[in-house]
Structure 1
């Protein structure tokens, strides 16, 4: 345990360099994992801000699979063909070809655009044939020096606002977490604030209690985000495919 903690300047906190390395290892896990069909509905990519060049992780997940197979095929095809995403024209498209081409696909079309005022726009996504989806982002918190999980809902059924805490509890929070999260309030539960890049209102899990949760673990930096998501992500429906952990162990 102490050997792993020597990899950090101050466990369990991360400085920017350590966070960059943790993001790179996490992205590498996803690229190398044998995910099969899961890769079509669960996307992970490492991104960088245009203003500072700092890394962050972006995760996109379809909330529910269409029951009709043809509808799913249409949804997945639209995902790679542009469309009316959050910021159409941002150049972000997601490939749905065979897994052998995943690494190249995951490295392309990943830059955000800037608007006429120089402010960075949110990444644009093609529509999943109007299938609801969620985007998660992992950013390093400048004050707490811990990863922070941001998330937003998209393309909810007509009449349902995406930026609504009740929708978060309805679509993302598993039943066993609902009462605990509501009791946590602003500190430790689901909070809302301007997104760290776009300034658009978004939800996040407050990082104030992350330190205590991580302190009991001793993990190398290559496993940091895997452990952290295991502690933080489940309360808002974020789980990492088991293949990302299993393949890593087999390679050792």
Structure 2
């Protein structure tokens, strides 16, 4: 597979190659992981992008229910001999869509995050962002803008709906530091980018996919060393 020509940036062709390879990797190993629901390469008009979907794991405070309230409910039901057993229907599952789109200005992947919820429990507000998307260790970093460029609310470039957005102004700098001098291929770039930029909003590469990627890179490095030794 060809190497990147404009690292730490990507061309459109390299971004397409990365998305296709990453999608194929997910299809090969999706049964070995439970973190992600799907990985889909999509296109709208001339815009190609990759959508990663995972379930939203709600915090306990999303469905508050105290022990006292449960006991009181049990007492009321026991006092009414004719009361029928009641099992509340489970609330519909909410999903998080992570859309990865190549920025035409910065020539790096950008991340747009949208919570898909039939009950509209998670509006695109800063409260939702810090309660349900940003892990605690990254909260202060995102609030202070930091090396990731900050998380804002903007309109999705395709749907025009308000979504969360990681600004790409410093992505090239982050990628260059993260690569540590390695010569990356498109898919390896995308894997590294997700690891560097996605953690602050709960997007982590499942271990099964990361392990498969590591084995592939080690195999290629071994083949390269063998060629050098033979020559």
Residue 65 of structure 2 is matched in structure 1 by none
Residue 103 of structure 2 corresponds to which residue in structure 1?
141
Q: TM-score, normalised on structure 2?
A: 0.71
Report SS of the residue matched to 2:198: helix
Q: Which residue of structure 2 lines up, in the alignment, with residue 242 of structure 1?
A: 207
Size of the alignment, in residue pairs? 183
Q: Point out where structure 1 has 5 or more consecutive residues left out of the alignment.
A: 68-127
Please tell me whether the aligned partners of residues 27 and 46 of structure 1 are also in contact (alpha carbons under 8 angstroms): yes
* Alpha-carbon distance in 2 for matches of 1:228, 1:64: 23
Structure 1 match to 2:13: 17
Whole-angstrom CA distance in 1 between matches of 2:38 and 2:203:
12
Of Structure 1 and Structure 2, the greater helix share is in 2
Cα shift readout 1:69-91 (whole Å, capped 9, x = no counterpart): xxxxxxxxxxxxxxxxxxxxxxx
Contact 2:98 2:111 in 1 (8 A): yes
Whole-Å Cα distance in 2 between the matches of residues 221 and 155 of structure 1? 33
Tell me the CA shift for residue 132 of structure 1: 2.3
TM (normalized to structure 1)? 0.65
Q: Which runs of 4+ in 1 moved over 6 A?
A: none
CA RMSD, Structure 1 to Structure 2 (Å): 2.7
Counterpart Cα distance in 1 of 2:116 and 2:110: 20
Gaps of 5+ in 2: 61-89, 220-231
1:164 aligns with 2:125: yes
Partner of 1:215: 176
Larger radius of gyration: 2
Is 1:62 aligned to residue 47 of structure 2?
A: no
